[in-house]
């Protein structure tokens, strides 16, 4: 957006072709690019390994275990099952940490350090306008982050799908880490992390504080997204009788659950699952309960939730970007319209 004003700001330099900024951005952040490439390649290799050999071995282990039935002494490949589980968890944790990794880097290295050491100002006096400098610093990493994170997400979804129905301890779709690692929300969160870090660096202009603020902002975005996510799409409410017990409790993304009274009212979050035990029975009678209700998101809501949450996060990232440009233009000399 604001980048469009940049060529005018560079004046006569523009007539001789644009300054080759991208080349130097990549050169200056060569090590970061290398680390990111290794991260993506290693993650991809792990996910391919997880989807293939590890899933097969763990599935075979579960088949053996289930075939044991009640036989007291029966051998099954427990190591394969445990190895699958820990590998899956490590990969999921790494993917969950992705937005924070990006935020920390962006805050510290991309903007904070350059403003602290004055190399940003050096660029601004070397024919690069501040808006153009920032536009490029957001756009190039955004491309790299989007490409890498998308690849990881696709491979994660593939690996997760391969285990469905074959590995009994496979994570359900609504497991919080799996939910994000399986879909575009991870990419959106990583982009928001980039903006959070860049903004933190611009605000604080110091490396270490910007790293910490970048992390805090990214955590704020993550927490807000997690908090709002169940409410971004209408949930399903299931009502069951007292005899049937709860229907789908904790089998999807849970929004609310509780008791239905005779008057049709809802009493939320009463953890009474049975009419048999004494205390609960008295409690249910006192409330005049006639059934249970459970409000949740079934698996069919996966994509609507992914897309609305992703869109929300991207909107926040957009606001952050606008704030970063506003701050930079406010602080430095910007072309006067009357000039």
Partner 1 sequence: MTTHTRAALEAVALGKRFGRRGGWALRDCAFRLPAGRICAVVGPNGAGKSTLLALAAGLLGPTEGSVSVLGADPARARARVGFVAQGKPLHPQLTVAETLRMGADLNPGRWDRATAERVVTAGGLDPDARIRSLSGGQHTRVALALALGKRTELLLLDEPMADLDPLARHDLMGLLMGQSAQHGTTIVMSSHVVAELEDSCDHLLLLGGGRIRLAGDIDELLAAHTRLSVPAGSADLSTHTVVESRTTGRQLSALIRPGAAPLPADWRTGPPTLEDLILAHLRNPGATALTTTAPARTEEIRQTEQTEETTA
Residue span 20-59 as binding mask against partner 1, x where in contact by CB under 8 A, dash where not? xx-xx--xx-------------------------------
* Cβ closest to partner 1, residue 123 vs residue 211: 123
* Cβ closest to partner 1, residue 68 vs residue 333: 333
Q: Which helix (H) or strand (E) holds 240?
A: strand 236-241
Q: Give CA–CA dist 183/197, Å, rounded.
A: 22
Q: Give CA–CA dist 102/104, Å, rounded.
A: 6
The nearest distance, CB 215 to partner 1, in angstroms, is 24
Q: Which one of residues 1, 4, 11, 220 is an interface residue with partner 1 (CB under 8 A)? A: 11
* Cβ closest to partner 1, residue 141 vs residue 184: 141
Are 167 and 59 contacting, i.e. CB atoms less than 8 angstroms apart? yes
The nearest distance, CB 24 to partner 1, in angstroms, is 5
Q: Give CA–CA dist 207/205, Å, rounded.
A: 7
* Cβ closest to partner 1, residue 237 vs residue 334: 334
Stretch that binds partner 1, among 2-10, 103-111, 257-265, 295-303 (CB under 8 A): 2-10
Give the DSSP letter of residue 241: E
Are 64 and 75 contacting, i.e. CB atoms less than 8 angstroms apart? yes
The nearest distance, CB 132 to partner 1, in angstroms, is 10
* Cβ closest to partner 1, residue 117 vs residue 274: 117
Pick from 309, 24, 334, 10: which is nearest to 186 by CA? 309
The nearest distance, CB 197 to partner 1, in angstroms, is 20
Range 98-157, binding partner 1 (CB under 8 A): 117-119, 121-129
Q: For the residues of 173-193, what is the DSSP string, one character each?
A: TTSHHHHHHTSTHHHHHHHHH
The nearest distance, CB 128 to partner 1, in angstroms, is 6
First to last CA, the chain: 21
* Cβ closest to partner 1, residue 27 vs residue 286: 27
Q: Give CA–CA dist 158/91, Å, rounded.
A: 13
Torsion of CA 50, 53, 54, 60, to 10 degrees: 140
The nearest distance, CB 23 to partner 1, in angstroms, is 6
Q: Is 13 in the site for partner 1 (CB under 8 A)?
A: yes
Q: Which one of residues 73, 269, 286, 336 is an interface residue with partner 1 (CB under 8 A)? A: 336
Are 308 and 232 contacting, i.e. CB atoms less than 8 angstroms apart? yes
The nearest distance, CB 129 to partner 1, in angstroms, is 6
Q: Which one of residues 41, 68, 147, 333 is an interface residue with partner 1 (CB under 8 A)? A: 333
* Cβ closest to partner 1, residue 10 vs residue 254: 10
Pick from 206, 187, 209: which is nearest to 102 by CA? 187
Q: Give CA–CA dist 55/153, Å, rounded.
A: 17
Give the DSSP letter of residue 3: G
Q: Which one of residues 10, 226, 254, 308 is an interface residue with partner 1 (CB under 8 A)? A: 10
The strand pairing partners of 259, in sequence order, are 267, 292
Contact residues: partner 1, CB under 8 A:
8-13, 15-21, 23-24, 27-28, 117-119, 121-129, 330-336, 339
């Amino acid at each position: 957006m604001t980048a469009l004003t940049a060529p005018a700001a560079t004046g006569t330099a523009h007539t001789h072709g644009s300054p080759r900024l991208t080349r130097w951005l990549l050169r200056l952040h060569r090590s970061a690019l290398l680390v990111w490439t290794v991260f993506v390649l290693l993650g991809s290799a792990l996910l391919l390994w997880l989807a293939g050999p590890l899933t097969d071995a763990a599935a075979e282990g579960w088949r053996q275990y289930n075939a044991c039935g009640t036989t007291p002494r029966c051998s099954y490949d427990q190591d394969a099952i445990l190895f699958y589980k820990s590998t899956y968890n490590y990969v999921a944790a790494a993917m969950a940490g992705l937005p924070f990794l990006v935020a920390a880097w962006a805050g510290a290295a991309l903007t904070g350090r350059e403003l602290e050491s004055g190399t940003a100002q050096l660029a601004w006096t070397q024919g690069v306008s501040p808006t153009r400098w920032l536009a490029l610093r957001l756009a190039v990493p955004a491309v790299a982050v989007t490409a890498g994170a998308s690849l990881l997400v696709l491979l994660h979804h593939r690996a997760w799908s391969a285990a469905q129905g074959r590995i009994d301890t496979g994570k359900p779709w609504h497991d919080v880490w799996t939910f994000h690692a399986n879909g575009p929300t991870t990419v959106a969160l990583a982009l928001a992390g980039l903006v959070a870090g860049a903004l933190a660096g611009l605000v604080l202009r110091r490396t270490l504080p910007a790293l910490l603020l970048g992390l805090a902002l990214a955590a704020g975005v993550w927490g807000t997204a997690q908090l709002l996510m169940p409410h971004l799409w209408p949930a399903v409410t299931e009502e069951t009788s007292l005899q049937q017990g709860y229907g789908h409790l904790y089998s999807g993304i849970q929004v609310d659950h509780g008791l239905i009274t005779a008057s049709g009212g809802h009493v939320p979050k009463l953890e009474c699952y049975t009419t048999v035990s004494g205390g609960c029975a008295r409690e249910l009678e006192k409330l005049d309960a006639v059934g249970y209700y459970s409000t949740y998101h079934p698996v069919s809501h996966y994509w609507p939730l992914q897309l609305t949450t992703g869109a929300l996060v991207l909107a926040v990232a957009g606001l952050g970007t606008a704030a970063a440009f506003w701050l930079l233009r406010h602080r430095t000399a910007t072309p006067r319209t009357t000039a």
